[in-house]
Structure 1
Amino acid sequence: MIKTADKGSDRSMTQTVRAQFALRELVLRGELNPGERVSELQMVERLGVSRTPVRMALVRLEEEGLLEAIPSGGFSVKTFSEKEVFESIEIRGTLEGLAARLAAERGVSRTDLRNAADCLDAIDDVMRRGTTEIDLSRYVELNAKFHHILIGMAESQTLARQLERVSALPFASPSALVPVQSRSPELNQILSIAQDQHHCVLSAIERREGTRAEAIMREHARIAHRNLERALTNQRDMDLVPGSGLIKRRIRA
């Protein structure tokens, strides 16, 4: 039998998660502007949940990096400079490189290698349809799955937590900038390079080549760098970047 206290705790957690998702959507859709103060009472009224779940949701979004605490109390929506966005992607690539190196050096099971290979086979199938018919949503799903498998291979909860945090920033996750490259005339070439890097890192892990595996994943993140550089010079592309409204763009000549 579930105790009443446990039921109350479960309800509170469900409300917290719901508040967290709803609040994140408000930020990412631009309904809360960069620098805008976000108070607990304001969100209680807006989200229609009690104070405790809202308070916890605000703290979690601060941990994700979307909000920041302000001295007068409450939180404000964080603004990111272009430099910070590039650094976030670089940090993610560095951590994924470390995950690949640890996986290679420590060794991984045949089951993990098979799961990763099956995922890459599925991506290959998506890409064989050609750029005019490619299912980008399916590609994004499988790409995220492969990166998740890769992180799991390192068997490091500490590393996984740090990667989860940096990937929570909407523009820094492994597939965040795929919609931008979908507008590029070099889409097929870019996806082919990314997929080749996937195959190469898996091979390096299987061969226990830690240094090579790490270098490949760090280079892999450079694709996102190039996509961001492209977006920053084209507003139509920038509109496709998740959380683009949070980025303070520098004035270009």
Structure 2
Amino acid sequence: MTSASDVTELLRERILSGDVPSGSRLQQIPLSEALGVSRTPLREALAQLAKEGLLIYEPNRGYAVRAFSTAEISAAFEVRARLEALACGIVARQGASVEVLDRLRECVAEGDRILSKGVLDPDDLIPYRRMNVDFHETIIQTCQNPFVSSFVRQCHNVPMASDRVFIWEDYKVIARSHDDHHRILDAIAKREAQRAEGLMSEHIHFALLVLRRKLDEDGRAAQLRDGRE
């Protein structure tokens, strides 16, 4: 039988990746059937995700994926940028092991392989997302500061601020972002702590700028549709 923790992780990943969008209602019977799990671990998972702030429970209506304002998303990005920059600086300052550097190099090489096509293939979104999560998580875990890890996880619980979310539309934007990975790795390998911090901070702020632009464009498009209707 699938455990409650397994179901929690599965649902969390789907919410953070945007597969289950904000505002979606999670009805237990169809959801348990779709996931192929019993309702007991599902109920526990839903309650845990509500505790984490990803879901909202309404009496007689059940659970829904929480919606976050643009201001809340921006605030989460700001905190995430500071914390991940701190983690980068710590790793560079203390010196990363050969194993850690190899793991980061593997991530960068995987990104290079995906982007070598010169276009964004929809089938590459999931592997690129996995690479990006591995790159960031390796740095966060290597800094060995449990508070950094814990607070970054809280920022990731704001779905649009998660490192699992990508606007997979503009090749130049993704290539520019991945170039940051190269430079961050170089700074860590050379133990240039201040440079590593600055690069990571800029990397995450760039992601926020791209997201804001996308949200603004979607908002304007919605206004135009509403105007025509």
Moved more, 160-169 or 133-142: 133-142
| Structure 2 runs not aligned, ≥5 long | 223-229
* Shift in CA distance, 217/44, structure 1 to aligned 2, threshold 3 Å: same
Alpha-carbon separation, structure 1, partners of 2:47 and 2:178: 37
CA RMSD of aligned residues (A): 3.6
- Deviation at residue 120 of structure 1 after TM alignment: 0.9
Cross-structure match for 1:156? 145
- Mapped contact 1:85–1:172 kept (Cα < 8 A): yes
Tell me the amino acid that sits aligned with residue 29 of structure 1.
V
Cross-structure match for 2:156? 167
* Shift in CA distance, 173/22, structure 1 to aligned 2, threshold 3 Å: closer
- Deviation at residue 50 of structure 1 after TM alignment: 4.9
Please state if 1:116 is matched with 2:116.
Answer: no
Alpha-carbon separation, structure 2, partners of 1:96 and 1:201: 11
- Deviation at residue 217 of structure 1 after TM alignment: 0.7
| Structure 1 runs not aligned, ≥5 long | 1-10, 240-253
Once the two structures are superposed, what CA deviation does each residue of 1:60-80 show, in whole Å capped at 9, x if it has no partner?
213432135789xx8765331
- Deviation at residue 196 of structure 1 after TM alignment: 2.2
Identity of aligned residues (%): 27
Of structures 1 and 2, the larger Rg is shown by 1
Normalised to the residue count of structure 2, the TM-score between the two structures is 0.74
Moved more, 229-238 or 169-178: 229-238
Normalised to the residue count of structure 1, the TM-score between the two structures is 0.68
Counterpart secondary structure, 1:80: coil
Alpha-carbon separation, structure 1, partners of 2:152 and 2:221: 24
Once the two structures are superposed, what CA deviation does each residue of 1:114-163 show, in whole Å capped at 9, x if it has no partner?
22112212212222221265833332222222112222221223322222
Alpha-carbon separation, structure 1, partners of 2:72 and 2:78: 10
- Deviation at residue 84 of structure 1 after TM alignment: 0.2
- Deviation at residue 82 of structure 1 after TM alignment: 0.9
* Shift in CA distance, 202/59, structure 1 to aligned 2, threshold 3 Å: same
- Deviation at residue 204 of structure 1 after TM alignment: 1.5
